[in-house]
Structure 1
Amino acid sequence: MGSSFDVSIVAENEALAENYIQQVFEEVIRIDLLISDWKPNSQISEVNKNAGIKPVKVDKEVFDLTKRALQFSEITNGAFDITVASMDKIWSFDGLMDELPTKEAIQKSIENVGYKNVILNESESTIFLSKKGMKIGFGATGKGYAADKGRELMLKLGIKGGIVNASGDLASWGRQPDRKSWLIGLRDPFKNGAILRTFPVRNAAMCTSGDYQKFALIDGIRYSHIINLKTGIPATGLTSVTVLGPEAETANAFSTSIMVLGAEAGLQLLNNYPDYACLIITEDNDIITSKNYKKVLKNLNTDN
């Protein structure tokens, strides 16, 4: 998935821990082989190759992941969209880009983007991309989903506590060996290496989207690597969005969506999902939290 995974579990001894951790890695690899749009033999790559040609039959797991992603597109009115993979790469976030692309280039870059052109057939378990040149990818939910599945596997095997961390998108459960809650740190985007806040959690997921590592600074405006697919222009205004809740896949989708929607619309969206809370950091270093923030943190630091 182009990301590093770190796994911590509570086990009776090191040998057992290594065995269980290896099973988590095998689960992550299994998922990657299904949904990676970089691996030519994955089911998602097969879907992308047949864009505008024919539907492709996929496993129920892949179908359901795609269905949930499209549901996020619906509730966010397209702020979240797995067809972002279709976009022509006209933006660079390596620090070298110093002027905006032309309006023509921007418009052309999003010609094949649009979640409504992803056609699902549940009875046949097929995915069809109706326009040639379309692609789908799970860069915004795949890591969170893998973290959730790693946690699910460990719970089935009776592991009482641990964390599956997919490059900052993580799922935790249980407690540390000393019976204390897990302590998760949130990086300060304005102070290199500093921790802004820590969250004591037991059964929780936490995902952060931000522009402080990958962005373009043009005419004094910082453009995020997260792009508003309606306009073809990167999101601005927010530096970081952290979402906490029970599932990493969902938290991951919300954090990406809120970066695009902005603070006001993002908070309104999250009001409809009381199990999830967010902490937003604006480009002016203002901190905004959802109204249920303290309640959700309390719930996530209890034994379920």
Structure 2
Amino acid sequence: MKLIIKIALVLLIHHSCAAQPFKQTLLLMGSRFEITVSAKDSMEAGQYINMAVDEILRIEKLISSWDENSQTSEINSNAGIKPVKVSAELFQLIERSLAISHLTDGAFDISFAGMSQLWRFDGTMTSMPTDEEIKTSVAKVGYTNIILNKESNTVFLKLKGMKIGFGAIGKGYAADKAASILVDAGVTSGIINASGDIKTWGNQPNGEKWTVAIVNPLNKNHVFATLPISNGAVVTSGNYEKYVRFNNKRYSHIIDPRTGYPSRGIISVTVFAPKAELADALATSVFVMGKEVGLNRINQLPKVECVIIDDEGAIFTSNNIKINKL
């Protein structure tokens, strides 16, 4: 759930700059995308936005596990059978995903897609899964069983029934790629907001940086801090709207792929990083790792910062973040 970040877009009514921001909202990859570009007029902006949309659709076709003709689906259908040759782009995305898995001790894991849907957060769950059911559900999860061969560009899932999916990294990657296409086309500034996975570049046409407003989900009407951002990404993961409650305990929809149990203790993680792909993966990972381990890991990464809100509403930040508290 990525709902609590807001980008403050300043319309340049009182400025004489040639370029102005134009925004369009679309449904892409099953999610709400907002694409903002600086352009001289609406026609030019429309051309740029169409370029971004085409790139996002291309990425979706590459990584979709629902499209039986995608390379990702081919990998999954050959789990435990044979390696599958894939494009260099998909190979490198999987390679980076495994690096993040290693970095987070498995808190991030694209093979989580193989876990059976024991936990449902749509109101239909009536009882807690048993320990045995949860143990069985994670039997086919484990990034160390994803075998890459650089020489042949092949991907092999060792265990029959394994699956990979890019739900925790795909929209961030799409935002990065769309932004890259637009930069190459000469768009000097803009924002790709992929349902809360936000990639920015350049500044507003008036020269000011884009501004991120951070909201505490326990008090959604109050912005407690802002942060200027340019040529970077910000992603928030939250568990405050999708959860179940059993035996007076609250279980969130963010599951630890190592154990099969929901993460606890945190309600919101906001990560700032150079790329949305990395911020997307780390936001979920910090949830799973917990406050202390998560902050420690973030503090070791260059150009990466985070803001954590625990389940009591307390706010914690990484060492070097500079936010403007209101």
TM over 0.5: yes
Task: Tell me, yes or no, if structure 1 residue 283 matches structure 2 residue 317.
Answer: no
Further displaced range: 267-276 or 11-20: 267-276
Contact 1:35 1:137 in 2 (8 A): yes
Matches within 5 A, 1:1-304: 1-192=29-220, 194-294=222-322
Distance 2:56 2:152 in 1: 26
Distance 2:86 2:145 in 1: 17
Distance 1:65 1:224 in 2: 27
Residue 197 of structure 1 deviates from its aligned partner by 3.0
Contact 1:274 1:292 in 2 (8 A): no
Contact 1:95 1:217 in 2 (8 A): no
CA RMSD of aligned residues (A): 1.5
Residue 39 of structure 1 deviates from its aligned partner by 1.4
Q: Aligned partner of 2:185: which letter?
A: L
Partner of 2:3: none
Q: Aligned partner of 2:249: which letter?
A: I
Distance 1:180 1:77 in 2: 39
Contact 2:216 2:309 in 1 (8 A): no
Residue 199 of structure 1 deviates from its aligned partner by 2.2
Distance 2:271 2:245 in 1: 25
Distance 1:81 1:284 in 2: 28
Contact 1:98 1:217 in 2 (8 A): no
Q: TM-score by structure 1 length? A: 0.94
Distance 2:224 2:116 in 1: 35
Residue 106 of structure 1 deviates from its aligned partner by 0.6
Q: What fraction of aligned residue pairs are identical, expressed as a percent?
A: 47
Gaps of 5+ in 1: 299-304
Partner of 2:19: none
Distance 2:298 2:169 in 1: 17
Q: Cα deviations across residues 81-118 of structure 1 (Å, max 9, x unaligned)?
A: 00000000000112443532111111111111111110
Gaps of 5+ in 2: 1-28
Residue 164 of structure 1 deviates from its aligned partner by 0.4
Distance 1:187 1:97 in 2: 30
Q: Aligned partner of 1:158: which letter?
A: G
Q: Matched residue of 1:148: which SS? A: helix
Q: Cα deviations across residues 51-108 of structure 1 (Å, max 9, x unaligned)?
A: 1111111100000000000011111111110000000000011244353211111111
Distance 2:225 2:165 in 1: 31
Distance 1:88 1:287 in 2: 34
Distance 2:38 2:125 in 1: 46
Distance 1:94 1:191 in 2: 24
More relative contact order in 1 or in 2 (CA 8 Å, sep 6+)?
A: 2
Distance 2:321 2:227 in 1: 12
Residue 194 of structure 1 deviates from its aligned partner by 4.7
Q: Aligned partner of 1:231: which letter?
A: T
Q: Cα deviations across residues 30-50 of structure 1 (Å, max 9, x unaligned)?
A: 000000111111110110011
Distance 2:161 2:187 in 1: 44
Runs ≥4 in structure 1, deviation > 6 angstroms?
A: none
Contact 2:85 2:152 in 1 (8 A): yes
Count of paired positions: 296
